[in-house]
Amino acid sequence: MKLNKNQEFLSYLIFNHFGAITITSIMKLAYLVDLVSIEKSSEQISDYKYIRYFYGPFAKEIKEDIESLLEKKVIKTEEIFFSSEVGTSVYKKASKDLDLNHISTKEKELIDGCLNELRGFGAKMLTNLAYKTKPMVALGATFHGNENLKKELNLFEK
């Protein structure tokens, strides 16, 4: 099965995350991993362009790639309910094996390190962490605020 690098990146995050993961967590993890990669190697793993959105960094291409991974049956989704009225979709590994042709060993190690550091962080904690990053601070973004909505985040912000 042919996947592009971004799809491999998301698959690797989902496959190696500790348990099921929501779209919000995927979005924030991808952003945070890309920031760590830039800090350590001066290069972003993905080529996602993140914007400042209502709940922090957002890349519409991540949602599109998730849909593609679902169609290709690389990942699967299921609905979980927190009460009788509220449900949310979580994503899990669907295929047994996946050839990662675009993600290097060094990138896998970096992703694994980030996942280990952020183990136990749910969507809310990841979002709070994302708001403390330099690109978000540079835009003056505040949690639940609307400062600079839809502005592209400069991941190389110093």
Contacts of residues 150-156 at CB distance under 8 Å and 24 or more positions apart, as own/partner, are: 150/51, 150/52, 150/53, 151/51, 151/52, 152/49, 152/50, 152/51, 153/50, 153/51, 153/52, 153/57, 155/34, 155/35, 155/38, 155/44, 155/50, 156/38
State how far the Cα of 125 lies from the Cα of 59, in Å rounded to an integer.
19
Task: Give the global pTM.
Answer: 0.93
Instruction: Delineate the domains of the chain, giving CATH numbers in brackets.
Output: 5-138 (1.10.10)
Dump pLDDT digits (tens) for 2-48: 899 999 999 999 999 888 899 999 999 999 999 999 999 999 999 99
